[in-house]
């Protein structure tokens, strides 16, 4: 049973409702979401909903069909997000990769593995001091000795550490030195361990037992949540027992989809334990991301053939690097981004109490989604009415970063933002690519046949040109933002018009999707650039952008391009833009793949009238 609270419910009214629930023999837990606040009735309610529905502050009382309540999506519609360490969020728009050697064998192996994970951009390591092994003769780990190695690892790197707690006693030893606890599947019904983990205050990775159904797994999650692990619990699919003998367990990727429907908890997948073979880890990790997992957990070892545990399913270092690259490619296809240290923008020092990121548009715009992909859910966002205002906010120190779209695979370039990059004293620090799925959104009751007006951002209209041309009686009106177009239709109660925007906008505004996936081609991607005040380039930069103006003489552009060729610089983009106020003079914008040769910049100077380095940054 859940009690949906009225929006105007006061603290006193909420306490009165909680008191009444206790008097009826149950307990309650207050859960505040983005859309609504509820009191979850914990226990078995043997009373009618009318006992609570008439109390002040109550909007509605609902019975939940499933026996688990706090883990249910009926309680909390929006997905949970769990913070691990200082900077990693599981859930949301980013996909997390956890990697490590499993059981710690010695300091050298751990240090070697950590260095390679760090180089790949991984932010969370899975390392174990203790373990639950089926055979008493198998390597059980170093125990308390390993805690010193974990502490040294956290001091030497910026990576968070998640480690297995095999008993309640282990929790006390691990809590001071790790950032999260892992409960192995066979321990998911260990009541003492669950309570100790919940009381630790640390994030908890709860694996599915090989013999457990999804409902049984969620019952274990419910036990942790009722013990106080709210906003700290992550589920991990690691395979189940079946009649199949080709692999030790069968990795149940269908559970991701089922859990998305039934629960708000984030879900990771462990293809190493789930398949038992390193050759299967990559394909199943890619499939997990495509199915909607919030991340993957993989085992990696410098010499898997000599590993004391899990060698058969441990990746070689090169296999880990390849997997990270592959997941980077797949993530944008499902509208997400891999959370890697190497692709995070460098930190920018500005005044205190400022917003973190400025973007153009209303909440729900594609630029907001791109910002969440890059920065996660912890940073504050500031919507701006125009691209220029976004640049002005960064240049004035009002925000740390700005993010703007610069080109689309269907609609082409966004010239205004290239001009603004040249005009303002800012530097590109990151990029991301977002797959864009457009929807035709209208007020409820509006059908496709009723529509005569389309309100859309020029880029959105260009990307949906094929669909729009199928309706010659439509008139397209340009607006400054995709989400803003839908908001305007709602505010003005337009019944013969529709906007083009993300599906999330329709849900947030309680509008109706008249047609979905209306972009001209499914391979519709937009490239966004993140910029800040100028500063030293961050780590992992493998791309650079320049703008220059050549002399007005025959062969000037060719001479300039030859300088790039002599330095073996691969140009991935070359575009010209007219210089405002100087008729028939053009700026050339160039993207360079690989590390920038700064000596080349000096050699460019005799061939150009103007030259500006727009930024060095990690490639998306």
What is the Cα–Cα distance from 365 to 484, expressed in whole angstroms?
8
What is the Cα–Cα distance from 546 to 524, expressed in whole angstroms?
26
Candidates 390, 354, 347; CA nearest to 535 is 347
Q: Please, are residues 208 and 235 in contact by the beta-carbon 8 Å criterion?
A: yes
Q: Please, are residues 294 and 267 in contact by the beta-carbon 8 Å criterion?
A: yes
Indicate the SS3 state at residue 212. coil
Name the phi and psi angles at 346, rounded to 5: -60, 150
Q: Structure tokens of 58? A: 């109550």
Q: Structure tokens of 402? A: 């700005």
What is the Cα–Cα distance from 235 to 185, expressed in whole angstroms?
10
DSSP element (H, E) containing 61: strand 58-62
Task: Give the dihedral sign, CA 344/347/350/355.
Answer: positive
Residue 342 annotated as catalytic: no
Name the phi and psi angles at 102, rounded to 5: 75, -125
- Integer angstrom CA distances of residue 339 from 162, 475, 549, 550: 16, 41, 37, 39
State the CB neighbour count (10 A cutoff) for residue 90: 27
Cα–chain center distance at 82: 12
Beta bridge partner(s), residue 440: 500, 515
Measure the CA dihedral 139/143/147/149, to 10°: -30
Q: Please, are residues 388 and 404 in contact by the beta-carbon 8 Å criterion?
A: no
DSSP state of 240: B
Q: Which residues contact 585 (CB under 8 A, 6 or more apart)?
A: 549, 552, 578, 579
Helices (H) and strands (E) in the chain, counts: 20, 30
Q: Which residue has the tokens 């019904």?
A: 189
Catalytic residue among 343, 526, 550, 560: 526
Sequential DSSP letters for 10-33: -HHHHHHHHHHHHHTT-EEEEEE-
- Integer angstrom CA distances of residue 125 from 78, 81, 149, 594: 27, 19, 13, 28
Candidates 96, 68, 72; CA nearest to 82 is 96
DSSP state of 270: -
Candidates 300, 281, 277; CA nearest to 289 is 281
State the CB neighbour count (10 A cutoff) for residue 79: 15
User: Alpha-carbon Rg of the chain, whole angstroms?
Assistant: 27
**Farthest-apart Cα atoms in the chain, separation:** 90
Residue 475 annotated as catalytic: no
What is the Cα–Cα distance from 14 to 317, expressed in whole angstroms?
54
Catalytic residue among 130, 387, 391, 528: 528
What is the Cα–Cα distance from 330 to 283, expressed in whole angstroms?
12
Active site residues: 526, 528
């Amino acid at each position: 049973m859940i009690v949906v609270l009225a929006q105007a419910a006061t603290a006193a009214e909420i306490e009165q409702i909680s008191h009444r629930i206790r008097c009826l023999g149950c307990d309650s837990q207050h859960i505040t979401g983005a859309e609504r606040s509820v009191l979850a009735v914990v226990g078995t309610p043997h009373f009618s909903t009318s006992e609570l529905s008439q109390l002040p502050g109550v909007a509605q009382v609902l019975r939940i069909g499933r026996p688990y309540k706090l883990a249910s999506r009926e309680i909390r519609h929006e997905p949970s997000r769990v913070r691990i360490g200082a900077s990693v969020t599981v859930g949301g728009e980013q996909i997390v990769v956890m990697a490590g050697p499993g059981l710690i064998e010695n300091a050298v192996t751990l240090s070697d593995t950590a260095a390679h994970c760090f180089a790949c951009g991984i932010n969370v390591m899975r390392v174990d001091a203790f373990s639950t092994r089926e055979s008493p003769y198998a390597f059980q780990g170093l125990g308390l000795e390993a805690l010193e190695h974990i502490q040294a690892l956290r001091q030497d790197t910026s990576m968070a550490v998640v480690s297995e707690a095999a008993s309640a006693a282990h929790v006390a030893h691990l809590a001071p030195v790790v950032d999260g606890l892992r409960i192995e599947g066979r321990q998911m019904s260990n009541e003492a361990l669950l309570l100790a983990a919940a009381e630790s205050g640390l994030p908890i990775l709860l694996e599915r037992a090989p013999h457990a159904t999804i409902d049984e797994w969620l019952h274990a999650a419910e036990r942790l949540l009722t013990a106080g692990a709210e906003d700290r619990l992550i589920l991990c699919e690691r395979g189940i027992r079946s009649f199949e003998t080709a692999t030790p367990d069968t990795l149940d990727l269908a559970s991701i989809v089922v859990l998305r429907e039934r629960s708000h908890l984030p879900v990771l997948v462990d293809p190493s334990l789930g398949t038992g073979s390193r050759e299967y880890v990559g394909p199943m990790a890619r499939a997990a991301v495509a199915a909607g997992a919030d991340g993957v957990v993989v085992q990696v070892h410098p010499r898997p053939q000599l590993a004391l545990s899990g060698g058969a399913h441990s990746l070689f270092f090169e296999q880990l690097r390849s997997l990270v690259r592959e997941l980077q490619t797949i993530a944008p296809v499902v509208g997400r981004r891999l959370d890697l240290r190497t692709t995070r923008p460098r930190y920018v020092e500005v005044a205190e109490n400022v917003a973190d990121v400025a973007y153009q548009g209303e909440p729900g715009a594609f630029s907001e989604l791109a910002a969440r992909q890059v920065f996660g859910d912890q940073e504050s966002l500031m919507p701006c009415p125009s691209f220029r205002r976004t640049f002005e906010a960064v240049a004035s120190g009002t925000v740390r970063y700005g993010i703007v779209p610069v080109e689309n695979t269907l609609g082409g370039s966004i010239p205004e933002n290239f001009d603004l990059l040249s005009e303002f004293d800012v530097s590109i620090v990151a990029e991301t690519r977002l797959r864009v799925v457009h929807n035709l959104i209208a007020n409820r009751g509006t059908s496709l046949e009723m529509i005569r007006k389309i309100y859309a951002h020029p880029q959105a209209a260009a990307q949906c040109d094929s669909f729009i041309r199928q309706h010659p009686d439509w008139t397209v009106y340009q607006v400054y933002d995709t989400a803003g177009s839908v908001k305007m239709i709602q505010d003005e109660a337009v019944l013969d018009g529709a906007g083009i925007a993300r599906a999330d906008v329709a849900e947030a505004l309680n509008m109706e999707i008249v047609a979905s996936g209306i972009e001209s081609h499914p391979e519709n991607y937009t490239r966004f650039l993140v910029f800040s005040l100028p500063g030293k380039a961050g780590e992992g930069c493998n791309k650079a952008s320049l703008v220059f103006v050549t002399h007005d003489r025959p062969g000037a552009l060719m001479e300039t391009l030859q300088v790039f060729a002599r330095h073996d610089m691969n140009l991935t983009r070359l575009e010209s833009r007219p210089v405002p106020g100087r008729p028939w003079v053009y700026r050339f914008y160039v993207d360079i793949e690989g590390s920038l040769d700064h000596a080349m910049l000096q050699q460019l100077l005799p061939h150009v009238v103007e030259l500006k380095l727009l930024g060095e940054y990690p490639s998306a």
